[in-house]
Amino acid sequence: MRLPIAVAILALAPHLGSAQSGSSAPTVTRLGSRNAYGPGIVTSESRRLEIELTRPAHIIVLKVDPDGSIQPVFPAPGEQVTERPAGRQEIALLAQSGPARPSADVPHAAAPVMRSAQQLAREGQPARPRATGDDVPEAAPITGYWLLIASDVATSAEELQERLETMTLQFPSIKAELEALPRALVARRTKVWAAFYAPAGS
């Protein structure tokens, strides 16, 4: 788990939202009452998330790193209002509010491994292209996932932190973690909730 970071939430004018709809939409997985709050995530970048709600909702936004560590984004500490209005809104990460905690408190995070120069050379990619020209392009690395949870119950930053700290954060995969988090955080408190997750883009 990492420290909360500073965020800005901006309401987008309708014409701004439609102007960006031409860009490729992220692959979004929906859970819970999938259509209760609208599309959810509509744009996903590494430091910016655009969401669309069709009705007001209390929201939780988390950034889940590829190693499984969780970064609470919204609500921020001291945030009094957790309900967001209907419409398009942007959540932008501004700056770190402090150094990230080491990932030692994440049980399933891999420990750092020191490798010798010889090991790195053996594990590296060949410098020359293959003679046939059919090199397989490397997939772009995933920088993490955005998780948006919308519901009819409020969750303060302090309550969110407490609930995350009491969870058993051991999952067989990142997908299992992304799908377990909303159920643990809100599903036991309400029947009207929806969650959306998508890879964070570049």
Could you tell me the two tokens for 3?
């420290």
How far is C-alpha 104 from the geometric centre of its chain's CA atoms? 20
Please state, in angstroms and rounded to a whole number, the distance separating the CA atoms of residues 198 and 148: 9
The DSSP code sequence of 71-98 is: EEEESPTT----EE-SEEEEEEEEEESS
Please state, in angstroms and rounded to a whole number, the distance separating the CA atoms of residues 115 and 1: 26
Q: Tell me: the pLDDT tens digits for 154-167?
A: 999 999 999 998 88
Mapped onto helix, strand or coil, the DSSP state of residue 37 is coil
Residue corresponding to tokens 């790193």: 65
Non-local (6+) Cβ contacts of 178 within 8 A are 29, 64, 145, 147, 197
Amino acid identity of residue 36, one-letter, is: A
60 pLDDT more than 60: yes
pLDDT of residue 21: 41
Q: Tell me: the pLDDT tens digits for 169-197?
A: 788 899 999 999 999 999 889 999 999 99
